[in-house]
Amino acid sequence: MKGVGPKRAGYFNDLGIHCLKDLVEYYPRTYEDRSIIKKINELESGEKATVRGVITNIEARKFRNNLHIIKAVISDGTGYMNAVWFNQQYYYGKLREGSTYWFFGRVERKILMEMSNPAFSDDYDNFAVIVPIYSKNKGLNQNTIRNAIKDALSETEECFNEIMPDWIMAGYGLLEYGKSVRNIHFPKSNDLFYKARERLVFQEFFLLQTALLNIRHRTRGLEANGNKFTDFYKGNMYINGLGFPLTGAQQRVINEIRGDLSSGKVMRRLVQGDVGSGKTAVAAAAIADACGNGFQAAFMAPTEILARQHYESLGNDFARLGYNAVYLSGGVKTTERDAVIESIKNGGADIIIGTHALIQKGVGFKRLGLVITDEQHRFGVNQREALAGKGDTPHSLVLTATPIPRTLALILYGDLDISIIDEMPPGRKKIETYAVDEGKRRRVLDFAERRMKEGSQVYVVCPRIEEDEALDMMSAESIYEELQERFSGFKVDLLHGRMKPSEKDSRMQLFYEGVTNMLVSTTVIEVGVNVPNATLMIIENAERFGLAQLHQLRGRVGRGSGQSYCIMINRSSAEIPRKRMKIMEKSTDGFYISEQDLVLRGPGEFFGTRQHGLPEFRIANIYTDMDILKKAQKAAIRIISEDPCLLSKDNANIMKEIELRFENFKTI
């Protein structure tokens, strides 16, 4: 492209722009409306406006600290205004006294109204318009990006091929793609801008939903050939032996699962429920159902210690039902490992609980009928499918404690049916939650000491491993050193993500066994083990975490019968962090909290959705564009129901765009 050499191309690459298609799809983050023209005597302090005026006087001055200032007096017949530019001395040669210009900027009332660093031009047609503002880096300014996009829009037509079938265009009243792209960058009118945005948001949602539904079709294969479960006696035996009644939500989800298992189609279901809502009991009932129908069941957890906890807590229950549960992870010794693998292969093991070691080569199953993955956001779609691939179209159940709003869950897990456990077991004590400022930290630590003297254990969570003065954040390492000295009479330990898995597991195990009184950690404990004796969670720099993550961290305590507490130390006086703290103090409802997180932080940051391997939306916003999302989902469902592999001529461009947009799409 003209004006883009190797160096400038590198700056564009840093923004994720490598070709013309990337460039025209690099949408503005906001806009300046320079079409609002005001007289000088109409200006209000603090507003942005466009003014047409004559320069009556202009001067340039240089100060000792190398500060250059250009000051111009502007008149439009209704009054006078100053325009001031800082360290842009080259403007002095461009601006001529006695000439008329258009100026745009924010005005503040001083002696006269004053506009700081205004944009200006003598060309009304190209100036008094809606101007796009882009995210940029140090190597690129707004004009460079705008000019490059203008050139791309005028030079390339192949980027604007229409991928939507005529029935979608007509049925949903969508603007043509090429017209939409041009008007999202340089809107001809407000009406065209809104139509352009609606079209591009629709397309973004539509492509993702169509891709996920296509994956769902491909990975399900011939659904009619799924293993049909008819005997639920053993599952009922497990439920009756729990010693407590299931909640209505647990029973409803078990019924939904059994509906899938008995349908003759392959189950692919997500069970979503807050921490402590009883997902494990639901999963165990499904395991008992699988074994009762003559199949093996595999339960994969993201960490060794979590997998071992599932094995220890469920193994005896399954033994009482007459089934043999085994444990497999990378930490199992070779001789024991070989024996376990052999028992899985020959059918001696009915229930296999472990880590990603379950999907490694050499691990074969005799008759795998049910696959369960715990904490789905820690596994990719490929890992989940790799485990399912160990059997002959086994049923799949996915568990997550991330309380994602249902609409977002439909996007993140578009290849799964969704069940929600939205009821907590009776008798669980509410975790008392408090937000305090830095000045109360000493009192918080005194409280921690009292809790430990009473025999309780304490988590202290920090946002970073190491100190970062620029970000003004407490680090796990520095806090650990401080608290080791402060609590010399107690066992204080450190846990973070850079440690080897074996070291992390051993330190977590010591905390689990009660050897460690206080565990200083980063968010690696977010998906952790059940430690009923841990009754206090202290979160340093709580303002650095999103709401959903704070809620996940809080869920590490409150696992036992004692009263538990979560104390968030907030070092920010900004409005949004304060709002987060108030929401956390008043609510323990994970679904409400997750929805508020979407409002305050937006979907791009929502509980690390990047971990799912899905791309960031370029223009769509899950929260504000809900209506468009529903329309796009409806269109995607119809497309896939009529042409599941997108083989027709009308849908070929859709498949091509999906393959371009989603990495590894064909291999999933």
pLDDT of 606: 38
What domains are defined for the chain? 36-127 (2.40.50.140), 224-421 (3.40.50.300), 432-587 (3.40.50.300)
Q: What is the pLDDT of residues 378-422, one digit of tens each?
A: 445 556 666 777 777 899 898 887 766 665 666 666 667 889 898
Q: What percent of the chain is modeled with pLDDT above 90?
A: 48
> What mean pLDDT value characterizes the chain?
86
CA angle 331, 283, 396 (to 5 degrees): 85
- Cα–Cα distance measured from residue 403 to residue 279, given in angstroms and rounded to the nearest whole number: 12
pLDDT of 471: 53
Output DSSP code: residue 174. Answer: P
pLDDT of 321: 96
Q: Which two tokens stand for residue 375?
A: 């904490």
pLDDT of 611: 36
pLDDT of 542: 93
3-state DSSP assignment of residue 555: coil
Tell me: pLDDT of 528 over 70.
Answer: no
Q: What is the pLDDT of residues 428-456, one digit of tens each?
A: 788 999 999 999 999 999 999 999 999 99
Q: Are strands 534-539 and 565-570 parallel, antiparallel or unpaired?
A: parallel
- Cα–Cα distance measured from residue 447 to residue 231, given in angstroms and rounded to the nearest whole number: 53
Classify the C-alpha dihedral 570-572-573-574 as positive or negative.
negative
CA 656 to chain centre: 26
Arithmetic mean of pLDDT, 559-564: 86
pLDDT of 527: 60
CA angle 409, 399, 249 (to 5 degrees): 85
pLDDT of 614: 45
Arithmetic mean of pLDDT, 525-538: 83
Of 226 and 553, the structure prediction assigns the larger pLDDT to 553
- Cα–Cα distance measured from residue 620 to residue 626, given in angstroms and rounded to the nearest whole number: 10
3-state DSSP assignment of residue 293: coil
Arithmetic mean of pLDDT, 462-482: 78
- Cα–Cα distance measured from residue 336 to residue 329, given in angstroms and rounded to the nearest whole number: 11
pLDDT of 218: 72
Q: What is the pLDDT of residues 149-194, one digit of tens each?
A: 999 888 776 668 899 999 999 999 999 999 999 999 999 888 999 9
CA angle 438, 468, 534 (to 5 degrees): 55
- Cα–Cα distance measured from residue 398 to residue 380, given in angstroms and rounded to the nearest whole number: 12
C-alpha Rg value of the chain to the nearest Å: 30
pLDDT of 323: 97
- Cα–Cα distance measured from residue 465 to residue 479, given in angstroms and rounded to the nearest whole number: 10
The dihedral formed by the CA atoms of 415, 419, 422 and 426, expressed in degrees to the nearest 10: -140
What is the per-residue DSSP string for 434-468? EEEEGGGHHHHHHHHHHHHHTT-EEEEE-SBSS-B
Tell me: pLDDT of 468 over 60.
Answer: no
Tell me: pLDDT of 646 over 70.
Answer: yes
Determine the straight-line distance between the first and last CA of the chain, rounded to whole angstroms: 36
Contact, 340 vs 349, CB < 8 A? Answer: yes
Q: Which residues pair with 570 in a beta bridge?
A: 437
Residue 309 banded pLDDT, cuts 50, 70, 90: confident
Cα 80 to Cα 61, 113, 425, distances in angstroms? 21, 8, 70
Tell me: pLDDT of 647 over 50.
Answer: yes
Phi–psi pair at 296, nearest 5 degrees: -85, 155
Q: What is the pLDDT of residues 242-286, one digit of tens each?
A: 988 999 999 999 999 999 999 988 888 989 888 788 999 999 999
Q: Which two tokens stand for residue 400?
A: 């997550």
Q: How many CB atoms lie within 10 A of CB 336?
A: 12
3-state DSSP assignment of residue 593: helix
List CB contacts of 404: < 8 A, sequence separation 6 or more.
272, 412, 594, 606, 607
Q: Which two tokens stand for residue 305?
A: 């210690």
pLDDT of 65: 76
Q: Which two tokens stand for residue 193?
A: 């801008």
- 540: nearest Cα among 434, 435, 463: 463
Most confident range (mean pLDDT) of 156-170, 447-461, 585-599, 634-648 is: 447-461
